[in-house]
A and B are shown apart, each in its own frame.
Chain A
Amino acid sequence: MVIEIKTKPKYAASEDAALLARMRAAGLPLKAASTARLYRIEAEWAAGDYKKAAAGLLADPLTDDWSVGGRRPPAGCWRAEVWLKNSVTDVIGESVSEAAAGFLGVEAPKVRFGHAFYFKGPAGPAAEKAAARALSNPLIHSFKVVKR
């Protein structure tokens, strides 16, 4: 199961601007861009546990929105996901695993950390290639595009 944590739009201006600048430098003149944090949790949890972990552990109730189970990109947008490959040490995943075990009182789950990026603007193979080059390193990351 994937939990997604996204900064609420009213607090995300600088985060979004930095991403837009990065993408422009990569040759991708987007109209808008935003980012989210992803946690892939492998555990035998009840559905309520994922929501509890998302709302109580991973999201800041004031500044973040959360969702469980993956999100489709909004109309006119495309979405890219970047994950650390399984062979790469995932420090954040390890920390979240320990924290989740303490928070829910369960066995430590396997957690991997990643990022989601939402783009409004040019799409297609060339844009995806530019995004992959700017946002991931094939040596340690997997990159995939999720279309609506």
Chain B
Amino acid sequence: MNDRIENFNSLRPAELAALDKAAGWSLNAAELAAAQRHFRKLGRPPTRGELETIAQTWSEHCKHKTFSGPVRFERNGKVKRYKNLFKETIVAATKTLNRPWCLSVFKDNAGVVEFGRGKKWGLAFKAETHNHPCALEPYGGAETGVGGVVRDILGVGLGAKPVLNTDFFCFGRQDSGMKLPPGALGARRIMEGVVEGVRDYGNRMGIPTAAGGVVFDDGYALNPLVFVGCAGLIPRDKIDKKVRPGDLIVAVGGRTGRDGIHGATFSSADIGEDSPSSAVQIGHAINEKKILDALLRARDKGLYSAVTDCGAGGFSSAIGELASDCGAVVDLEKAPLKDVSLEPWEIWVSESQERMVLSVPERNLPALRKIFAREECELAVLGRFNKSGRLLVRFMGEPVVDLRNDFLHGGVPNFEKRAVHKPVPVSSRPPAKPRRPLGRLLREILAHPNVRSRAPIVRQYDHEVQGGTVVKPFTGPAGYGPSDGAVIWPQSATRDLGDFSGFAAAHGICPSVGRIDPCQMALYACDEAMRNLLCCGADITKAAFLDNFCAASPADPKVLGDLVLAAEGCREAALGFGAPFISGKDSFYNQSADAKGKPYPIPLTLLISAVAPVDDVRSAVTTNFKRAGNPVYLAGVAWRGLGGSIYNELERSGNNALGVISIEESARLYRGLLPAFRAGLVMAAHDISDGGFAAAAAEMAFGGGLGADLCPETGYAQDGISQAELLFGESPSRLLIEVDRERELAFRSMVAGLPVERVGFVSAGHDLTLLDGAGRELLREDIAVLLECWSGEGI
């Protein structure tokens, strides 16, 4: 029963590696040696359960060894050393900013910031990835990804009520002719499955899904990225939790099965044909809804002192984490099972979905049982927390795991990793003139997969459930205008219909910029997320960021070098905007062998998710033009450079320079615009990103059902900028703003001294007309025709 690996302490490194591969632990040589030293010192061999526990606890997924480890970074012949990359970049920025409204950062399942009138609430926000499972089985992978991040919100503090799900995907191009290796799923198949999974789980749980996006790029053909997020509300006095020695260890929710074994360790390995099917599961949203309902009732009655979710690593991770500051004794035979043939170690590390673990004072158990029974939700007492500093796991009295906390949580060896920066050659020469007519070019840009309408995806989601989605994914009378983010009025959680406090959630992501400069990518992504919040009318002085990094193997110094630069970019952006990071996650080893057997890594990808309060949701702003005759302003400076743009995919401009970004200047601009938003002078606002000025103007027109006559040249721009850069360049920190014509003077005085200038007017016509500085027509396109292109109905 105790399943000891008798010869473990005498195995040579090659034999340890072979054992590791056979068992699927994904431990490296140093980690295997550290484990071997530990058990040699104890004078006994380890059990299978102990090595499984070590592999799970030390996995990249759970320990974030790359980000939290020492790095030697080489750039331009100079060396910079980090003891802990994450702490010295992203966490350092949050510490420096020291915002009093940050209530819980980097220590729980999600970050929590202050929310609402009277500061009675905390807003918890978390985004996760579920990339590896989605590559193998898109529907199940996406479903369980949503289930997992919702449980993170249920498991933050003493439990928050989810009020918003977010989704962001990176898929291979649907029109790609790329030859796939055996066993790999096609891009369309992956997309359909992922969307259906997100839809089915979120809709069934009664959580609105809004604030999302998609990037198509063949770099993701074999390794799709699936970012799922969740925001929830928690009473301020429920944010702190502490396991009390003597409390019972109580598991609630679904039964434990063989499904999901080695999910945590699997995500520390490359995906290949022999990837385990046991890492794939199908979620059960209704079971999770039962947990949600029961848990929040038990929370409000104060029946437990701590809670966490069973995610990667199952009981091993959940109980191991909760007991890390005290100790625990667990009797696995008490766990309700789906399959009685499970080995004890399998029960311990199984990642069966929809389970949570609670620390419950014994006197509260009867009341807790009653609440969970009412929801037909199973509950089992697995053991007790104690002060031993040990994790003792038994099955029918026989030890399965007996490990000291200091070794389990502090014994992982972390060696210095090498990171190098290899700059990409950049050409700043003036772009070649476009071969296509400008009108045709705009139509093609709007039809491009990375600009086109997301309606076929978004319309599958229930974004209205809970009745608090104020700014919806599409805006305007006909619902054609794409929103820059979602604004949520979480009255379903606060139950206060007199409090119109809400929050905006938005994203920023720029992998095409990352191919040129990873640091700029991070700056661009933070800037885009911040701009999107502002365009929703949010109070960006209280914005908070989440970081989600996805990369190929960090064992490649170039990959790690890019990661270092992106992390430094995050630090710079957070400090510049005064916006702390409150939580984050990373996912590595997003690479596979292609059809020829060559490694096929994803491009370094950073998703920035951002939240900020909207003091009164009734004054939230949308992107659609509102009234003919209103002036349209361009805020921000158009810089030269077409690097990373959609334009460059369609035209060979010969220029791959990135538009300049200064976070200080961007922050000054956005803070300067905020009073105009607060005063209600801004009728509509939209960020300029994919497709540039012309695409942003067209999208504002779609939503409003109105035309516009605009002259981008009258806005602020770098000297020598070309027409193509003005119309289609994607230099950051710019937004288009429609201003109430009756209060234009007030607007102008509010933005005096900022790079904000009128570029035209909303028109009652049905055309989008773009003019040059001399008033000559550059293009005139029927909005209905542009809308057809954007909707995917042909160019």
Contact = CB atoms under 8 A, between A and B. Distances in A.
Real binding pair: yes
B282 A91 contact: yes
Interface in A84-112: 84, 87-91, 94-95
A90 B281 CA distance: 9
B282 A90 contact: yes
Given A25-B188, A87-B258, A89-B257, A139 B137 contact: yes
Given A137-B137, A139-B136, A89 B192 contact: no
Given A88-B282, A89-B284, A91-B284, A140 B137 contact: yes
Nearest to B204: A91
A89 B140 CA distance: 10
17 contacts: A87-B258, A87-B277, A88-B140, A88-B280, A89-B259, A89-B281, A89-B282, A89-B338, A89-B353, A91-B286, A133-B186, A134-B189, A137-B137, A138-B183, A139-B137, A139-B277, A139-B280
Nearest to B281: A89
A108 B672 CA distance: 65
A37 interface: no
A120 interface: no
A22 B192 contact: yes
Interface residues of A, number: 16
B185 interface: yes
- Closest 4 interchain pairs by CB? A89-B282, A91-B284, A139-B277, A137-B137
Contact of A95 (B185, B192, B282, B286): B286
Nearest to A138: B183
B284 A94 contact: yes
Nearest to A141: B137
A25 B189 CA distance: 10
A131 to B, nearest CB: 12
B511 interface: no
A94 B255 CA distance: 12
Given A25-B188, A139-B136, A91 B283 contact: yes
A137 B185 CA distance: 8
For B192, B277, B278, B353, the residue with the greatest tally of chain A CB atoms inside 10 Å of its CB is B277
B186 A140 contact: no
Nearest to B282: A89
Nearest to B186: A133
Contacts of A138: 183
Contacts of B258: 87
Nearest to B279: A139
Interface string B191-205: 011000000000000
Interface string A45-79: 00000000000000000000000000000000000
Given A89-B257, A95-B286, A140 B192 contact: no
B353 to A, nearest CB: 8
Contacts of B138: 137
A88 B283 CA distance: 11
Contacts of B193: 137
A133 B259 CA distance: 24
A84 to B, nearest CB: 8
Interface string B267-304: 00000000001101111101000000000000000000
A88 B281 CA distance: 7
Nearest to A134: B189
A80 to B, nearest CB: 16
Interface in B376-410: none
Nearest to B140: A140
A137 B197 CA distance: 14
A95 B254 CA distance: 13
A138 B182 CA distance: 11
Nearest to A95: B286
Nearest to B192: A22
Contacts of B259: 88-89
Interface string B137-148: 110100000000
For A90, A91, A94, A140, the residue with the greatest tally of chain B CB atoms inside 10 Å of its CB is A91
A139 B281 CA distance: 11
Contacts of B338: 89
B460 to A, nearest CB: 11
A94 B282 CA distance: 12
A77 to B, nearest CB: 24
A21 to B, nearest CB: 10
A20 B38 CA distance: 60
A3 to B, nearest CB: 21
Contact of B280 (A90, A133, A134, A140): A140
A90 B183 CA distance: 22
Nearest to A84: B282
Interface in B567-598: none
Interface string A121-137: 00000000000011001
B233 to A, nearest CB: 28
Contacts of A89: 257, 259, 281-282, 284, 338, 353
Contacts of B286: 91, 95
Nearest to B200: A91
